[in-house]
Amino acid sequence: MDKVNFSKMLGDFNDRNRQRKQLTDKKYGKSSNDRGGREDFSKPSKLSMRMKYWRPSETVTRIRLIPQSSEVPFYSFFQSWVKVNGRSRTVICNDRNGELEVPCLVSYYALKDENPGLLPSKKEVITVQVLEDFHKIEQTSNAGNQYFKYVRSLGVNRFGHSQDPPEYKDAEKVFGQKYHWSMGGGHRRQLEAQLEEITEHCGSCKDGFISVYAYACAECGDVVASHKDRDLPEEEIFFLRNEKVKCHSCDHEGALAQMTECVHKKGFGSSAEWVDGCDNPKKVSPWDVELIISTTGEGNATSIVINDWSIAEERDIKEWLTTPFDFDYFFGYMDLDEQGRAMGKDNPFDEASQKLLEDHFSMSASAEKQFVEPY
């Protein structure tokens, strides 16, 4: 078949996106707007990195979330589900559902075949430390290569007897593994709502709430404004928390320090009152806590549940467990031939198109990060 030069297709970019909008309307109905490079052999394969996924289940698990950064904790990408010979597979959408001017088989065949089912969904992914014991089980691949599979230990029963399979008895045990957790918008909102609630609590006693009661000069400590002196309006609170202020006592100009205390709510309804909590108020960051997490529900109607939390402990674990994945490397894009194999379709693009794809994503500085082999 004749190969397609993607550069020549860019002139039709807007037309293709109009087609995409029509397919979206077919897929979701007219109210759709209302709904929520080549392998580097010095690194693990992209496929093997994609397979390091974790999903919460009914089994409670202790984890710690590792954000990409405190400002942007999640990495987003787009993927489609395809069925090939009765088996479902995922394919990364290179152009992020039409956002980028790069070649993508997902978009090409969605538009060519007028198939709205191929249109991708947005996924949010974050790095997860699973803080449990794992058995290190040696395996042999079909090609005869040796590798290790890490199987979570089931612990002991109430009589102290191991619940793990007998064949794991002599296997080496290691603590902790690092995975990535991909989720849709609904699960992300559930998770973030519960994390936000946790950050309102005191990290020292867990029962109390952190209350910001005043704003003071970071240099001399002089109080600029206090909630206890008067009822501060929202506009003033926003200003005190976000703007630089000049101190009347020492003339220092800068962000104000927030003065906090731990308080408890006593009673219910109109008779409730706030009383003093512990004397060591500690603000909580969602990235500095360990979560006991599970799910409820079945199938597509599951919900994320944080059953408990605690301030993260200092643990003697491997350094590679503590850093976020380089998601650009294996979730940024798929080579065009790899997309074709995953979809069971011919790759219609020429080599120049593959080079254009690689050049676009090679500009990411994170592609130069080094990987550390586990254990």
> For 93-118, how does the pLDDT look when each residue is reduced to its tens digit (9 = 90+)?
999 999 999 999 999 999 999 999 99
My answer on whether 100 and 17 are in the same domain is yes
Burial call 154-176: b when 16+ CB within 10 Å, e when fewer = eeeeeeeeeebeeebeebeebeb
Residues 112 and 254 in one domain: no
215 and 126 housed in the same domain = no
Same domain for 240 and 373, yes or no, is no
Whether residue 365 sits in one domain with residue 250: no
Phi-psi region of 55 (alpha: psi -120 to 50; beta: other; left: phi over 0): beta
- Residues with Cβ within 8 Å of 132's Cβ and at least 6 positions away in sequence, in order, are 61, 62, 152, 153, 175, 176, 177
pLDDT at residue 374 greater than cutoff 90: no
Number of domains in the chain: 2
Distances (CA, A) of 88 to 270, 336, 343: 55, 19, 10
Mean pLDDT in residue range 213-232 = 95
124 occurs within a structural domain: yes
Three-class SS state of 354: helix
Radius of gyration of the chain (CA): 26
Asked if residue 16 and residue 117 are part of one domain, the reply reads yes
Confidence category of residue 146, pLDDT binned at 50, 70, 90: confident
| The domain boundary residue, chosen from 251, 276, 301 | 276
The domain in which residue 334 lies consists of 1-54+62-178+317-375
Same domain, 2 and 109: yes
Residue 319 reports pLDDT greater than 70:
yes
For the segment 317-340, the average pLDDT, to the nearest whole number, is: 93
What residue type is 85 in one-letter code? N
My answer on whether 146 and 250 are in the same domain is no
- Please identify, among 276, 294, 309, the residue that sits at the C-terminal boundary of a domain: 276
Other beta carbons within 10 angstroms of residue 111's beta carbon come to 20
In the block, which residue shows the tokens 């002991």?
Answer: 156
Residue 297 within any structural domain of the chain: no
Together in a domain, 28 and 79: yes
- Residue-averaged pLDDT of the chain: 88
Asked if residue 133 is part of any domain, the answer here is yes
Q: Are residues 1 and 101 in the same domain?
A: yes
151 and 270, same structural domain? no
The whole-number pLDDT of residue 8 equals 65
**What is the predicted pLDDT for the residue at 93?**
97
Point out the domain boundary residue: 218, 245, 276.
276
Eight-state DSSP code of residue 223:
E
In a domain, 364, yes or no: yes
Residue 204 is assigned to a structural domain of this protein: no
Looking at the domain assignment, is residue 259 inside a domain?
A: yes
- Examine residue 184 and state whether it is found in any structural domain, yes or no: no
Whether 284 maps to a domain, the answer reads no
Q: Check residue 14 and give its pLDDT.
A: 58
Residue 44: per-residue pLDDT: 82
Chain centroid to CA 241: how far? 28
d(CA 117, CA 114): 9
